[in-house]
């Protein structure tokens, strides 16, 4: 079995051999949860701690959330006037017209409607193996190419030990293998959970070493930042879950017995642990069937299938995982033979290590492959990995940036199938948001606010006391709809666009209906916020609510432009919709430059309450939008750069990743380099130099020693946004002229720290693929494009104005002409 892992790893090397292996390495067991390495198959996730005498696998199932499906749309906390929630909105608008934002915010607080539910841990697998304890020669690695965590060490009696852990997508199972050539395995394996057992782990009759257990998720969990006497409740409608565990002992002298809810193995040549899960949560419909016995039977059946060919699990897993990871290679330089934490410390001290950026880039793709597969739920704030019953921000879907960022690298990273969970969930969210649109705003289409969950919560969060800066933002659907558009623009899949068109169309209808005429005759939004940000009133108080924030107008314009472009593609012949879109686009203001040279965030020039704020939503049309860059809108692009300068060099981890993508789109190579360094700064590695920032610790982002992104605490969006930002620095293909010619811009924002390198396999808009790109001394020396369909492209390099036009045809890799 261990030999199978070695062979799988050899068969699945990803990347140029000169670029070093795609291996994260630490030379001690995990001391904290964020030290552990994640493995997953989209549904089952596990954090591998790498203990010698005691191993902990902290296990999640992506369908395990608190709560249950909603009964109708959210209900405002109130009190509401006779004209209902839309009357509250109208009164807030009138108060803004009268110059009283605080009163408008107080009015909008009546619309708050509770909170989303929380993503839950499932079980821990604990393996107690006292005889294997030892630290000599210890090494723990996560091979991004194969999706296997390997731990090697020598025990106190000098016996060599090895453990491999993976979660297989083909077999829907977790597998742990532990063995030594010099000593038997004498170990105990047990299951624990932070939840009450419904049926405690018990032996399956006639199946030695097999345990099955059931448990129920909480029926309600308050966010971790909300106080309350009863924050976690059990007993109401909730997800039923089950785990099935098989402990297999190899060797003629091996014995297996179950006692006190644990499996005791003695004298084994090798130990194998196989775990499967099941719940009654149907992610396709967002429903619960409620049959706990059926859930237990489903987990047991999955275990039986996995164990039937346990010897083949590793090979099938590695082949499946490597087939996705191997689509894109990046080589920025050779790896150093040091553990990851030491490399991060050296890099923070100014020692060059460009291979760290390679690892972080591929780590984002790895987390996508491990965390998001067709048929699963979309990645939440922590992907599919979480150990807390009350996780940070409920580990929810935060849709005013974070959920969207989770999927920024998916298409460019050639993982389009991993985008499917988000699109499928959006179909359900759009249906749920129709009731919210009618009830809260009296408009057509659908809306969602800044937080959601698998049950498709779409209302403003809070019970009357949440800040309007996040709660009073109904444009979640407008932003999320862009993912449907992007999927089509990258893949050319018109059928998928038609299938998900109600998401786009409904978001556009709501946006059109929420626009109001302003005194100057333009259209705008009122009330409006700029996600999570605030400005200062003349008396020095902070306020959130305003009129026609730049981010509102930018997102609405972006969506309506896509609707205008794509209605003929999907066959949407609604003349009223077309006329409304055209009319609105003619009257929507574009971004403006403020007196200080920055891109204005608010309708009027007001002081910032927090100049270094982590959100930069008013730069939406720079990135993820495609309308502002140094060519198409040089004045606005320069103002966007000034905005980023004013925000400062430090922020939370995910914000650093967003700023990286923004700097790349603005072709600021030095800014990209600075943000790569800031993102890769270790927040917990001993010996790391402080960054000399005045920001409080909870706002200083970076990475943990495992390379997981520190918001802090851990959020996966930063890891995924980093990958997208690096890709954006290497190639951009967002321009398409009226003649249909697409521009492919090579190395638009290459940092000086990466003078030589190679990337292969990035996917581009228009069905293009960057089959190969090599550069030396910062200049392209070789480039090849491929395409799914015939396309004419203009190619340019490294910010230059000169373009070369080539035609790329399907099945014919097209080398680009050398520079003249």
Residues 272 and 416 in one domain: no
Residues 598 and 746 in one domain: no
Residues 178 and 322 in one domain: yes
Distance, CA of 283 to CA of 21 (rounded, Å): 36
Q: Please give the tally of structural domains in the chain.
A: 3
Residues 180 and 279 in one domain: yes
Contacts of 330 (CB under 8 A, 6+ apart): 15, 19, 358, 361, 362, 726, 757, 758, 759
Supply the pTM of this predicted model. 0.96
Residues 54 and 167 in one domain: yes
User: What is the strand order of the sheet 804-808 is part of?
Assistant: 731-732, 742-746, 791-797, 804-808
Residue 107 lies in a domain: no
Residue 643 lies in a domain: no
Q: With contact defined as beta carbons under 8 Å apart, do 656 and 664 qualify?
A: no
Residues 444 and 570 in one domain: yes
**From residue 526, how far is each of 271, 448, 553, 616, 817 by CA, in Å?**
63, 16, 11, 20, 52
Q: Residue 693 pLDDT more than 70?
A: no
Residue 683 lies in a domain: no
Mean pLDDT over each residue of the chain, to the nearest integer: 95
Residue 806 lies in a domain: yes
Residue 530 lies in a domain: yes
Which of helix, strand or coil describes residue 150?
A: strand
Q: Residue 9 pLDDT more than 50?
A: no
Q: Residue 691 pLDDT more than 80?
A: no
Please name the residue ranges forming H helices in 534-574: 550-570
Distance, CA of 733 to CA of 818 (rounded, Å): 19
Average pLDDT over residues 508-527: 98
Q: Residue 19 pLDDT more than 50?
A: no
Domain with 313 in it: 2-66+118-329
For tokens 């509102």, the residue is 552
- pLDDT of 2 reads 46
Residues 227 and 147 in one domain: yes
- Phi and psi at 114, nearest 5°, equal 95, -165
Distance, CA of 596 to CA of 602 (rounded, Å): 13
Average pLDDT over residues 761-786: 97
**From residue 515, how far is each of 87, 480, 527, 588 by CA, in Å?**
16, 19, 10, 9
Residues 214 and 316 in one domain: yes
Contacts of 104 (CB under 8 A, 6+ apart): 92, 93, 95, 96, 527, 545
The confidence band for 817, taking pLDDT boundaries of 50, 70 and 90, is confident
Q: For the domain that residue 767 is a member of, what is the CATH number?
A: 2.60.40.1180
Which of helix, strand or coil describes residue 660?
A: helix
Query: Which string of DSSP letters, residue by residue, matches 571-619?
Result: T---HHHHHHHHHHHHH-----B-TTSSBP-SSS---BSSTT-S--GGG
Domain boundary among 329, 350, 367: 329
Distance, CA of 158 to CA of 133 (rounded, Å): 10
Domain boundary among 560, 581, 609: 609
Residues 319 and 421 in one domain: no
Average pLDDT over residues 183-210: 94
- pLDDT of 18 reads 35
Residue 746 lies in a domain: yes
Q: For the domain that residue 524 is a member of, what is the CATH number?
A: 1.50.10.10
Which of helix, strand or coil describes residue 485?
A: helix
The confidence band for 801, taking pLDDT boundaries of 50, 70 and 90, is confident
Which of helix, strand or coil describes residue 186?
A: strand
- pLDDT of 231 reads 97
- pLDDT of 204 reads 86
Angle at CA of residue 402, ends 399 and 406, nearest 5°: 115
Chain segment 79-109, per-residue pLDDT in tens: 999 999 999 999 999 999 999 999 999 999 9
Q: Which of 332, 321, 328, 210 is nearest to 275 (CA)?
A: 210
Q: Residue 698 pLDDT more than 70?
A: no
Residues 448 and 540 in one domain: yes
Residues 314 and 421 in one domain: no
Domain boundary among 560, 593, 609: 609
Q: Residue 3 pLDDT more than 80?
A: no
The confidence band for 818, taking pLDDT boundaries of 50, 70 and 90, is low
Q: For the domain that residue 43 is a member of, what is the CATH number?
A: 2.70.98.50
Contacts of 308 (CB under 8 A, 6+ apart): none
Residues 409 and 277 in one domain: no
Average pLDDT over residues 683-712: 77
The confidence band for 684, taking pLDDT boundaries of 50, 70 and 90, is confident
Residue 264 lies in a domain: yes
Contacts of 685 (CB under 8 A, 6+ apart): 341, 342, 344, 345, 705
Which of helix, strand or coil describes residue 769?
A: strand
What b-and-e string marks burial along 597-613, b requiring 16 or more CB atoms within 10 Å of the CB?
ebbbbbbeebebbeebb
Q: Residue 178 pLDDT more than 90?
A: yes
Residue 366 lies in a domain: no
Q: Ramachandran region of residue 375, left (φ > 0), alpha (ψ -120 to 50) or beta?
A: left
């Amino acid at each position: 079995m261990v030999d199978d892992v070695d062979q799988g790893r050899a068969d699945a090397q990803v990347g140029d051999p000169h670029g070093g292996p795609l291996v994260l390495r630490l030379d001690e067991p995990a001391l904290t949860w964020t030290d552990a390495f994640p493995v997953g198959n989209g549904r089952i996730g596990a954090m591998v701690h790498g203990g010698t005498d005691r191993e902990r696998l902290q296990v999640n199932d992506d369908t395990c959330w608190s709560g249950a499906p909603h009964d109708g749309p959210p209900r405002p906390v109130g009190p509401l006037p006779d004209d209902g929630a839309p009357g509250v909105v109208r009164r807030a608008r009138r108060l803004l017209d009268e110059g009283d934002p605080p009163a408008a915010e107080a009015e909008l607080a009546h619309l708050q409607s509770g909170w989303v539910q929380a993503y839950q841990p499932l079980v821990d697998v604990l393996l107690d193996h006292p005889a294997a304890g030892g630290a000599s020669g210890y090494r723990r690695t996560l091979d991004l190419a194969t999706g296997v965590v390997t731990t090697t060490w020598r025990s106190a009696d000098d016996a060599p030990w090895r453990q491999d852990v993976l979660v297989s997508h083909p077999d829907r199972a977790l597998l742990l293998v532990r063995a030594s050539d010099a000593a038997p395995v004498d170990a105990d394996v047990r299951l624990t959970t932070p939840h009450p057992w419904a049926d405690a782990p018990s032996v399956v009759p006639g199946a030695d070493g097999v345990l099955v257990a059931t448990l129920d998720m909480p029926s309600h969990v308050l966010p971790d930042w909300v106080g309350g006497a009863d924050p976690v409740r059990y007993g109401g409608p909730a997800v039923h879950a089950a785990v099935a565990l098989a402990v297999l002992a190899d060797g003629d002298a091996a014995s297996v017995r179950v006692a006190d809810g644990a499996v005791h193995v003695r004298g084994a040549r090798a130990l194998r642990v196989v775990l499967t899960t099941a719940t009654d949560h149907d992610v396709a419909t967002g429903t619960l069937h409620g049959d706990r016995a059926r859930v237990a039977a489903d987990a047991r059946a999955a275990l039986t299938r996995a164990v039937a060919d346990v010897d083949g699990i590793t090979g099938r897993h590695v082949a499946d995982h490597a087939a996705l990871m191997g689509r894109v290679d990046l080589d920025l330089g050779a790896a150093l033979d040091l553990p990851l934490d030491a490399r991060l410390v050296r890099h923070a001290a100014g020692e060059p290590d460009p291979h760290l950026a390679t690892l972080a880039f591929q780590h984002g793709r790895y987390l996508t492959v491990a965390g998001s597969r067709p048929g699963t739920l979309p990645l939440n704030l922590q992907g599919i990995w979480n150990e807390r019953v009350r996780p940070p921000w409920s580990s929810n879907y935060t849709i005013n940036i974070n959920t969207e960022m989770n999927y920024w690298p998916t298409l460019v990273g050639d993982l389009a199938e991993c985008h499917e969970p988000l699109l499928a969930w959006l179909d359900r969210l759009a249906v749920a948001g129709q009731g919210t649109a009618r009830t809260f705003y009296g408009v057509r289409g659908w809306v969602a606010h800044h937080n959601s969950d698998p049950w498709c919560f779409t209302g403003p969060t809070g019970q009357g006391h949440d800040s309007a800066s996040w709660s009073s933002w109904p444009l979640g659907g407008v932003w999320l709809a862009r993912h449907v558009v992007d999927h089509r623009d990258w893949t050319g899949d018109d059928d998928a666009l038609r299938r998900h068109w109600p998401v786009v169309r409904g978001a556009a209808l709501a946006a059109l209906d929420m626009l109001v005429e302003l005194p100057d005759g333009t259209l705008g939004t009122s009330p409006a916020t700029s996600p999570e940000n605030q400005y200062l009133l003349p008396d020095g108080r902070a306020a959130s609510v305003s009129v026609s924030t730049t981010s509102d107008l930018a997102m609405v314009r972006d969506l309506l432009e896509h609707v205008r472009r794509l209605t003929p593609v999907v066959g949407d012949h609604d003349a009223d919709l077309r006329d409304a879109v055209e009319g609105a686009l003619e009257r929507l203001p574009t971004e403006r430059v403020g007196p200080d040279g920055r891109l204005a965030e608010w309708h009027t020039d007001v002081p910032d309450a927090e100049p270094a704020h982590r959100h930069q939503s008013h730069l939406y049309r720079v990135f993820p939008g495609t309308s502002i860059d140094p060519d198409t809108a040089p004045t606005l692009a320069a103002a966007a750069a000034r905005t980023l300068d004013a925000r400062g060099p430090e922020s939370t981890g995910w914000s650093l990743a967003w700023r990286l993508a923004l700097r790349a789109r603005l072709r600021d190579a030095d800014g990209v380099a600075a943000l790569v360094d800031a993102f890769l700064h270790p927040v917990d590695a001993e010996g790391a130099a402080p960054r000399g920032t005045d920001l409080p610790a909870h706002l200083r982002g970076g990475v943990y020693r495992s390379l997981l992104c520190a918001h802090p605490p851990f959020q996966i969006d930063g890891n995924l946004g980093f990958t997208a930002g690096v890709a954006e620095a290497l190639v951009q293909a967002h321009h398409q002229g009226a003649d249909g010619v697409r521009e492919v811009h090579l190395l638009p924002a290459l940092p000086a720290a990466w003078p030589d390198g190679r990337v292969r396999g990035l996917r581009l808009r228009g069905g293009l693929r960057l089959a190969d790109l090599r550069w030396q001394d910062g200049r392209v020396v070789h480039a090849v494009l491929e395409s799914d369909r015939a396309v004419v492209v203009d190619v340019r390099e490294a910010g230059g104005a000169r373009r070369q036009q080539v035609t790329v045809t399907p099945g014919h890799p097209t080398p680009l002409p050398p520079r003249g």
